[in-house]
């Protein structure tokens, strides 16, 4: 993105350890790249509110959609999984667009940056040679998905220039579970529409039971806000449980839920599958845990499965009008390496586009 926004008379080079640009774009959104979201505000991110909002204000999701339109990239509104999401026909189209727009850029691919030194200019040490530059923009992302080229280089460079990096954790990943929730694993493959509550956040959407624990869009989003301790699920979000209590059917038939799920749930709370109308007060109370099932995840699926890295380079040490380091001149940080992490639904790409725009605008006015 950045290369395509910079004025053509600037000498720009992009260094990437991958053989092709846009490795994450390629696999994102099931290879259809969830490029942005209809409504994007700082509320969709973990990070310093004003910093995030100022950057989003400079380059909104509408501006990204206009940019796509101008460059003949078709975007498709699709709310099947997450509200407000825009996808593309194919992730390949996104990478093709950026490749065309970056025709003036010198690429050093298959080249891994190992260190950044500064005297009166920068020396970028790489796996093959040193590259010299007046200004350096770090856009090397987080440490999730090593298989796609991720490394800790952004944090290493930031620290070498006295930047602080907040605690890093894998996020937008499924949860592993503790012994009390091992019954989730028996339901591997079952999907349900639920409401998840974690801290002050609630998410409506699907969960998916998995052999490792529990996943699905609202669980991925919960993993962003979960630190330790309890979260809760409402397995029957659009229904009042009391409306079923007159039925003479067994619980597993009376409730509008997958039978396999209800049977496993009842076993987990030690409640027999009998006529729902025959439940006494205490049994009804037990059944009400369906509406507020509290559990403490054991952890999450980790960096190999996490779509993002939560935490990063502290934003108080980066200028939100230019993305330049406040500690080191001509050094810039954009995208996921910063301590800004978005929810599932196009928010992480949007922050990458917006921060790239802010940086490009500053560099263009500075030549
Ligand atoms: C499977 C998956 C699906 C996703 N789907 C979506 C989605 O649909 N929508 C959404 O908004 N977000 C999605 N995300 C998150 C999104 O991809 C990232 O937040 C976003 O790509 C971050 O952009 P970035 O430019 O900061 O870093 P990245 O896109 O991670 O790019 C960093 C680049 O730096 C290179 N690099 C790293 N270290 C070095 C080094 N030492 N030397 C040289 N090069 C290096 C890497 O090879 C990589 O090409 C997904 C992530 C994953 C893993």
Q: Which atom of ligand 1 is nearest to the CA of 144?
A: 53
Average pLDDT over the chain reads: 96
159: number of Cβ within 10 Å: 13
For residues 251 and 273, is the Cβ–Cβ distance under 8 A?
yes
Structure tokens at 134: 């007046």
Give the position, in ligand 1's atom list, of the atom nearest the Cα of 152.
38
The confidence score (pLDDT) of residue 71 equals 97
Mean pLDDT of the 186-192 span:
97
Atom index in ligand 1 nearest the CA of residue 21 equals 49
Q: What is the β-pairing status of strands 13-15 and 106-108?
A: parallel
pLDDT in tens, 79-92: 999 999 999 999 99
pLDDT of residue 367: 57
Q: What is the pLDDT of residues 307-341, one digit of tens each?
A: 999 999 999 999 999 999 999 999 999 999 999 99
Candidates 2, 9, 65; CA nearest to 34 is 65
User: What whole-number distance in Å separates Cα of residue 322 and Cα of residue 316?
Assistant: 13
- Which residues contact ligand 1 via a Cβ below 6 A? 15-18, 23-24, 27-29, 33-34, 112-113, 139-141, 144-145, 149-151, 153, 307-308, 335-337, 346-349, 352
| Beta-bridge partners for 87 | 76
Cα of 155 from ligand 1 centre, angstroms: 15
Contact 144, 303 (CB under 8 A): yes
Closest Cα to residue 214, out of 237, 238, 180? 180
Q: Which residues contact 75 (CB under 8 A, 6 or more apart)?
A: 35, 36, 65, 68, 69, 86, 87, 88
Per-residue confidence band for 6, with pLDDT thresholds at 50, 70 and 90 = confident
Instruction: Say what the pLDDT of residue 8 is.
Output: 80
Burial of 88 (0-12, 13-18, 19+ CB in 10 A): buried
- The CA distance from 266 to 204, in Å, is 23
- Asked if 330 contacts 35 with a C-beta cutoff of 8 angstroms, the reply is no
Residue for token pair 């006529």: 275
Question: Strands 136-138, 191-198: parallel, antiparallel or unpaired by DSSP?
Answer: unpaired
Look up the pTM and report it: 0.97
């Amino acid at each position: 993105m950045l290369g395509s926004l910079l004025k053509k008379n600037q000498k720009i080079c992009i260094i990437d350890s991958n053989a092709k640009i846009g490795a994450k774009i390629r696999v994102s959104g099931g290879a259809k790249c969830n490029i942005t979201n209809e409504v994007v505000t700082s509320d969709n991110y973990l990070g310093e509110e004003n910093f995030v909002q100022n950057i989003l204000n400079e380059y909104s999701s509408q501006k990204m959609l206009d940019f796509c339109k101008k460059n003949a990239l078709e975007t498709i509104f699709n709310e099947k999984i997450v509200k407000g999401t825009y996808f593309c026909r194919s992730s390949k189209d996104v990478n093709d667009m950026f490749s065309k727009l970056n025709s003036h850029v010198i690429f050093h691919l298959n080249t891994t940056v190992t260190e950044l030194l500064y005297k009166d200019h920068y020396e970028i040490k790489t796996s093959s040679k040193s590259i010299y530059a007046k200004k350096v923009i770090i856009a090397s992302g987080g440490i999730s998905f090593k298989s796609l080229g991720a490394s800790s280089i952004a944090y290493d460079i930031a620290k070498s220039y006295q930047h602080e990096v907040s605690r890093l954790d894998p996020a937008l990943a499924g949860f592993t579970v503790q012994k009390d929730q091992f019954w989730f694993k028996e339901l591997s493959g079952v999907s349900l529409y639920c409401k998840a509550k974690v801290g002050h956040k609630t998410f409506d959407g699907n969960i998916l039971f998995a052999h490792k624990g529990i996943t699905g869009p609202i669980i991925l989003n919960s993993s962003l806000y979960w630190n330790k301790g309890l979260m809760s699920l409402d397995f029957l979000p659009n229904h009042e449980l009391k409306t079923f209590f007159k039925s003479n059917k067994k619980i597993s038939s009376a409730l509008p839920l997958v039978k396999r799920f209800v049977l496993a749930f009842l076993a987990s709370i030690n409640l027999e599958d009998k006529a729902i109308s025959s439940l006494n007060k205490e049994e009804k109370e037990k059944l009400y845990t369906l509406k507020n099932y509290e559990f403490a995840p054991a952890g999450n699926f980790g960096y190999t499965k996490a779509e993002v890295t939560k935490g990063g380079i502290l934003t108080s040490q980066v200028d939100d009008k230019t993305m330049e380091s406040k500690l080191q001149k001509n050094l810039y940080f954009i995208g996921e390496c910063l301590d800004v992490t978005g929810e599932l639904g196009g928010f992480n790409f949007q922050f990458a586009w917006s921060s790239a725009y802010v940086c490009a605008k500053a560099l263009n006015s500075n030549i």
